[in-house]
Structure 1
Amino acid sequence: MYSIGEFSKLCGTSVKTLYYYSDIGLLKPSYIDPSTNYRYYGREKIQVINKINILKSCDMSLTAIKELIENGNLSKRKTLLKSKMIEVEDLKKHIARRIQEMDKLKQQMELKRTPKVKRN
């Protein structure tokens, strides 16, 4: 088991965030010492925090992440993930179009800057 500080460093998540995740029921410690209230996390929690971080990086809300992690219904979890994947794919297409537009603009700007050669 890892202390909250050790777990924080191991997972790259702040202690404050781990306390918050515990408070909202997203990631409960494996053990809380009743006399000191120190929180400890088992190795199995590493996978959970990794899932949380991946889903957060896709702009999924903590509420949706909690629902996804807690939901025992595999079909429901797949539906939630598929919905988010479609959303991210749409964003990817949008960003790709913006990059193309910016590239065209850059090319146009470069053409205007190129000095014209005088012909005799």
Structure 2
Amino acid sequence: MYKISEFAKLTGLSKETLRYYAEVKLLEPAYIDPKNNYRYYDDGSIFLATLLTKLRKIGFTIQEMISVMEDESFANLETLLIQKKRNILQQIHDLQLQVEEIDGFLASGKEET
């Protein structure tokens, strides 16, 4: 079992993030000591923390992460990842169009001078 500070160092998540994740039922401690309210995490929590870190890095919202964690079989994770990828690719396309608009606008300004 790991105290919250040890678990934070081990996973790269801050103590504040771990407390928040526990509050929203995203990653709850394996054990809370009733005497002093210390939070303890186990080895199984490391996998979940790693998964949550990955999901955050690829842009999942807290609500999307909760949805993944509620589906303990992770059956819908692939579908969610594919949809997230589609959304990112669409955003990239939209941004490329904006860049082209800017380039066109700048080019037209140079032609007039």
Residues 27, 49 of structure 1: 8 Å contact kept: yes
Q: Quick one: distance in 2 between partners of 1:42 and 1:73?
A: 20
TM-score of the pair, normalised by structure 1 = 0.71
Q: How many residues align?
A: 106
1:21-36 paired onto structure 2 within 5 Å: 21-36=21-36
Aligned to 1:82: 82
Shift of 1:68: 1.0
Q: Aligned partners of 1:74 and 1:27: how far apart in 2?
A: 15
The offset of 1:94, in angstroms, is 5.2
CA displacement at 1:89 relative to structure 2: 3.1
Aligned ranges 1:94-113 → 2 under 5 Å: 97=96
Counterpart in the other structure of 2:11 = 11
Query: Could you say which residue in structure 1 is the equivalent of 2:52?
Result: 52
Taking the aligned partners of 1:30 and 1:61, their CA distance within structure 2 comes to: 24
Question: Which of structure 1's runs of 4+ aligned residues deviate more than 6 A?
Answer: none
TM-score of the two chains, using structure 2 as the length reference: 0.75
* RMSD (Å) for aligned C-alpha atoms: 2.5
Offset of residue 88 of structure 1: 2.5
Cα shift at 1:73: 5.7
Gaps spanning 5+ residues in structure 1: where?
A: 109-120
CA drift of 1:91 comes to 3.7
Which entry has the higher C-alpha Rg, 1 or 2?
1
C-alpha distance in structure 2 between counterparts of 1:53 and 1:8, whole Å: 12
Deviation at 1:80, TM superposition (A): 1.7
Give structure 2 stretches of 5+ with no counterpart: 108-113
